Structure 1
Amino acid sequence: MKKLVLALLTGAAVLAAALIPSGPPVQAATPGFASAVSAIKQTSWQTNNSVNALAIAGNTVFAGGLFTRLRQPGKASGQAPEALRSYVAAFDRTTGRPTAFAPVLNGPVYAIATSPDGKWVVIGGDFTTVNGIRRSKIAMFSVATGKLVAAWDPVVAARVKALAIYGNSVFIGGAFRAIDGATRNRLGAVRLIQGDLLPWNPNANNDVYAVDVADNGTRVFVGGPFSTINGKDHYSLAMLNNTTGAAFAFPAAAAIPKPTATCTTRVKDIDTLGDNVYVSNGGDGGGCYDGVLAAQVSTGKLLWQNKCLGATEAIKAIGSWLYKGSHAHNCSSSPNGFPDGTGTHYLLVESTINGNLGPWFPNTDANPKSTTQVGPLAMAGTATDLWVGGDFLHVNGTIQVGITRFTNTPGGAAPAVPKAPTLTATSSGRVYVSYTDSYDLDNLTLTYNVFRGSLNVGSNKYTTYFWQPRKTYQVVDRGLARGSSYTYHVEVHDGRNIMKGANATVKIP
C-alpha cells in the first residue's frame, strides 16, 4: 500500500478543509493556503531521469525510477557534482536531501511500498541483481539500516509494476506469469517477513498497473488494462478478497468505459483512505475517459466521478483533498473547470467530497525526450507533505528534475498584485472605484480591500480560478468634497499574504 504512512488531520482541520469544496469556497485560514499543502515548491534534490514510484516510512522518502544520479536543488546537469544512485534512492522528508541509502541495481524500479510499521521497504521493477546478488524483479530492505534482506528472495518472472503491503502480505502486480515457479498471472502475493508464496491468485488476463489495500485490510483493489479476473469480466478495475483473491461485486467499476474502436482507457493509480477508494485513469484516443472516480470501500458504490481530459497518472488522498498528477488540458466538464486551450495543468487537487477542482495550482512540465512524456507519474504523502515524482524538468517554472515536494509550511503562494483601480468622480461627491479581481495559486476565495489613503472604504470576498477571465467589481465612495483630490488603491488578502496594488488619483469636479 503506497501511502502506508497515514497521518491524521485534526478534526478542526478536516472540517475546515471539507467546507471549501462542498459549497462556496471560504477565506483561507492562517496558513495562507486552503488545501492540505501549499503550491510553493520546497527545496529538494533532483534526479537525472524519471521517478516512477514513491513511498514514505517515517522521515524517509523512497524513490524509484529510471534515474542513475542525483543532483543538488536548482542545478542543471553538469553544474555540480552528482551522487550516484542506480534506479532507487531515499530522501530526508524534512530537508529534501538524499540519505546514504544507495543499493546498486541493474535495472529500473517501477514500484515501491513500505510496511505499515515503517520497518521494511519493498521495491519492484525490471532488475535482476541488487548489490551483485540475484534478485528477480523484487527485493526488500531494512528501513533502519538500508541493507538488503538476504533471506527474502521471491522470484518474479517479469516486470513488477505495483506493490502494496498489509499485515504480513505483500501484494504484487505487473506483467509476470509466475512467482517462484508457480503460475501467477500478473497478480500474486508473498509473505512480508518470510518471502514465501501465498495462495492469493486472482489471475488477471493482462498487465496490472496499480494495487492498493483498504485501510482496514479487507479489500485489495487492482487496476490496469486487464479485462478479466479469474476468468470473469472485470474491465480495468477490481475489488478482491485479501486472502482468496476472489472478486467482489464492485458497482463503481462500471463507470470506466469499455474499449471501443476509437477509445481505450485503463486504471493508472489507486489510493485508499478510510472507507473511500480513489481510482485514476488514462485513455488512448481523443476524448477518452482520463479522469478520477471515488467509490465506497464497504459497498463498492460510486460516490463521484471527475471527467477531466488528460490522463491521470498519479493520485494521493490527504484529508479532504485528492491530489492528482496528470496532463489535464480540458476540465470544462467540472464546475468552474478550465476549457481546452488554457495549457496543460499537470498538478491539481480535487475535493474528496464531490470531485470538484480545489485551490491548488502548482505546475510542472513533461520531458519531451523521456519514455513517458506525461509529467507527474507518482505521489506519496502525509498530512503535512506531498512528494511528486515523474518525468518533468521544471516545477513552477524553475529547474527541478524528476522529484519535488510540497508542504504545509505557512505562507503559501501570494495573490497576484492587483492593478491600479479605475476611478470615476461625480459632482455629487462620489467616486466609483472599479477594480479587477486577482488570483492565487493555492486559494480560491480572496478578500479585496479598497482604500482611500489609509481608510478602508470597501471590503469584499470573491472566488476566482486563475484560468478564468478577470472580472470587474466596483465600490462607491460617498460624501467627498468638491474640488479635492483623492488617492485609492486595492489590497488583496489570502489569509496571510497581502498584496498592495498601485495608486490611482482622481479630483472631484
Structure 2
Amino acid sequence: MKKLVLALVTAAAVLAAALIPSGPPVQAATPGFASAVSAIKQTSWQTNNSVNAIAIAGNTVFAGGLFTRLRQPGKLSGQAPETVRTYVAAFNRSTGAPTSWAPTVNGPVYSIAVSPDGKWVVIGGDFTVVNGLRRAKIAMFSVATGKIVQAWDPVFTARVKALAIYGNSVFIGGAFRSIDGVTRNRLGAVRLLQGDILPWNPNANNDVYAVDVADNGTRVFVGGPFSTINGKDHYSLAMLNNTTGAAFAFPAAAAIPKPTATCTTRVKDIDTLGDKVFVSNGGDGGGCYDGVLAAQVSTGKLLWQNKCLGATEAIKAIGNWVYKGSHAHDCTSTPNGFANGSGTHYLLVESAIDGNLGPWYPNTDANLKSTTKVGPLAMAGTDTDLWVGGDFLNVNGKPQVGITRFTNAPGGAAPGVPKAPTLSATTSGRVYVTYSDTYDLDNLSLTYNVFRGSLSVGSTKYTSYFWQARKSYQVVDRGLKRGSTYSYHIEVHDGRNIMKGATATVKIP
C-alpha cells in the first residue's frame, strides 16, 4: 500500500517559503550524487568480448580477457574499424581511449596486478606466448615503457587466475600444480623484480579464484572452491601469513556455508581497504549464498554480511562504499532491498559500514552468448573513479561492450520528472496538493518543493529506492481566495540537478 503523509504547512512556513524562487537553485556544493562515484557512464572505448580483469597504474587502466579487438564508444560491431588488441589492452584513465600498448598474447588473460609503486604490471591467464617469447601463464611489463621484462619468466603448469603484489612479492592463485618445477598447489609466490620462486606455500586442494593482500602487507587473503589449506579445513576462504603461507584463525570464514546437497558456494573476489577485507561469493542452487561479507583484517572478526541472491562476481571498496558486480535478483534479506521478480541488478553499492544497499543503481546486461553469461566480472578503482569489466553488451541501456567507467565528475544522474500533482480545494480556502515521489539512480534522499505559481508552499526531503512502489505525499496550502484559480507544480532536486513537473490547476469553490 502506498504511504500517505499529510504535511500541514503553517502560514508562517508558507511566508518563509515565499523567499524560495521557482526554478533551478544556486549550484550546490555537493556533487549531485551520494556515493563515491555517480551512476552516469563516462565515455570509454569498448571490447569485442569479455573483460575478466582490470588494474590501474597512475593514469593507465590495464584490462585483460577474451577480447581481440577494441572499438570506438557508441559503435556497434561493423559500424567502424576496430583496433587489434589480443587479450590485453590499456586505456587512458582520463579519457577512456586506448593507449598504444599492444602486446601480442596467444591466449586469454584472467588476472592483472600492478605493483604498489606503479612501475610494473603482471598479467596471468592461459597463454603460452607473449610478444613472441615463451611465457607459461604469466608475464611482466614495465608500465613506463610498455615492454615485456624478458628475464622475468616463472613457469606455471596451468591457469593463473588471481594476482596480488606487495613489496617484492607477487602472490599467485589459480589451477597450477607447480612453479618452475617446484610443487605449488594452486597457490604460490615469486619475487617481483627477480621472478624466482618464494617459500610461500599454502597448498590449496582446489582452484583459487581470488587473492588480495592487506593494505599493511601483514595478511594475504585467498578464496575459491578449495576446502583445505595445508591439509587443514579452510572452506573457500583463508587468511594467510605473508611469509610462510600458514593460515591464521579467521572467524568470519565460518559465515560462508559449506557445501550441501542443494548448495555449493565459493569465493569469487576479495578486496581490502584499511583494516577491512571484503569477500564476495557465488553459489549454485536456489537460495544458495551469493553475497558479500566484511571482516576485520587484524582479528578476522565478521563485521557484517549481506545475503542478496545472485552471484557476486566482483567487488571494489572505495571510501565507505563497496561496489559490486553481480546478477542480484533478490535482496529481500537486506533493509529496503528488492524482491525477486524486480529484475536483475547487475551493479549495486553497499555500505562498507553495515552492508546495506546504497545510492547507486546503474545497470548492465549479460551476454547470453558469452562463456560466462553473468554481466560484470571485474572491478578496479580509485577515490575518483570505478572501472567495470565483464561480458555485458549494454550499460544504462546503451551499447557498451566489455568495459565501462564511472567517475566523481559533478552532476550525477538527475531525478525522475515528477508527475503533475492531484489537487483538491475546499470552501475554507485550502488546497490539498497530493504528489508522488520519484527516484534518482545515484541518490536516495531527494528534496520535493511544492510551488503555487512561483511561490514555494512546501519543501520536504524523502528517501526512495527506484525498485520500491512510488509513495504519495500531501501538502496543505491555506488562506486562498474563494473563486480564484491557482496552479501548482512539483520540483525535485538532488543537491545539483533539478527536475520540474507538469502544472495542475484548481479553482477555490
TM-score relative to the length of structure 2: 0.94
Cα deviation digits, residues 227-257 of structure 1 (max 9, x gap): 0000000000000000000000000000000
- Trace 1:68-467 onto structure 2 (pairs within 5 A): 68-467=68-467
Correspondence for 1:17:
none
Correspondence for 1:20:
none
CA distance in 1, matches of 2:47, 2:157: 28
Q: Whose Rg is larger? A: 2
Paired amino acid for 1:377: L
Q: Any idea what SS the aligned residue of 1:253 has? A: helix
CA distance in 2, matches of 1:30, 1:176: 49
CA distance in 1, matches of 2:179, 2:77: 40
CA distance in 1, matches of 2:54, 2:29: 30
Cα deviation digits, residues 323-368 of structure 1 (max 9, x gap): 0000000000000000001000000000000000000000000000
Cα deviation digits, residues 189-240 of structure 1 (max 9, x gap): 0000000000000000000000000000000000000000000000000000
CA distance in 2, matches of 1:229, 1:75: 47
Equivalenced residues, count: 482
CA distance in 2, matches of 1:284, 1:421: 47
1:306 is displaced (CA, Å) by: 0.1
Cα deviation digits, residues 26-83 of structure 1 (max 9, x gap): xx96100000000000000000000000000000000000000000000000100100
Correspondence for 2:493:
493
CA distance in 1, matches of 2:486, 2:75: 49
Q: Any idea what SS the aligned residue of 1:299 has? A: coil
Q: Any idea what SS the aligned residue of 1:106 has? A: coil
CA distance in 2, matches of 1:443, 1:85: 37
Q: CA distance change for structure 1 residues 271 and 167 in 2, over 3 Å: closer, same or farther?
A: same
Paired amino acid for 1:507: K
Q: CA distance change for structure 1 residues 129 and 235 in 2, over 3 Å: closer, same or farther?
A: same
Cα deviation digits, residues 118-144 of structure 1 (max 9, x gap): 000000000000011100000000001
Q: Any idea what SS the aligned residue of 1:252 has? A: helix
1:258 is displaced (CA, Å) by: 0.1
Paired amino acid for 2:159: R
CA distance in 2, matches of 1:318, 1:456: 38
| Residue segments in structure 1 that go unaligned for 5+ positions in a row | 1-27
CA distance in 2, matches of 1:399, 1:143: 30
Q: Any idea what SS the aligned residue of 2:122 has? A: strand
Correspondence for 1:15:
none
CA distance in 1, matches of 2:263, 2:132: 44
Q: Any idea what SS the aligned residue of 2:206 has? A: coil
Paired amino acid for 2:142: S
CA distance in 2, matches of 1:326, 1:30: 29
Correspondence for 1:10:
none
CA distance in 2, matches of 1:427, 1:112: 71
1:268 is displaced (CA, Å) by: 0.1
Q: Any idea what SS the aligned residue of 1:295 has? A: strand
Correspondence for 1:31:
31
Q: Any idea what SS the aligned residue of 2:254 has? A: helix
CA distance in 2, matches of 1:493, 1:364: 26
Q: Any idea what SS the aligned residue of 1:111 has? A: strand
CA distance in 2, matches of 1:180, 1:199: 13
Paired amino acid for 1:264: T
Correspondence for 1:3:
none
CA distance in 2, matches of 1:481, 1:389: 60
TM-score relative to the length of structure 1: 0.94
| Residue segments in structure 2 that go unaligned for 5+ positions in a row | 1-27
CA distance in 2, matches of 1:372, 1:166: 30
The percentage of counterpart residues that share the same residue type is: 87
RMSD, aligned CA: 0.6
1:103 is displaced (CA, Å) by: 0.3
CA distance in 2, matches of 1:29, 1:225: 47
Paired amino acid for 2:373: Q
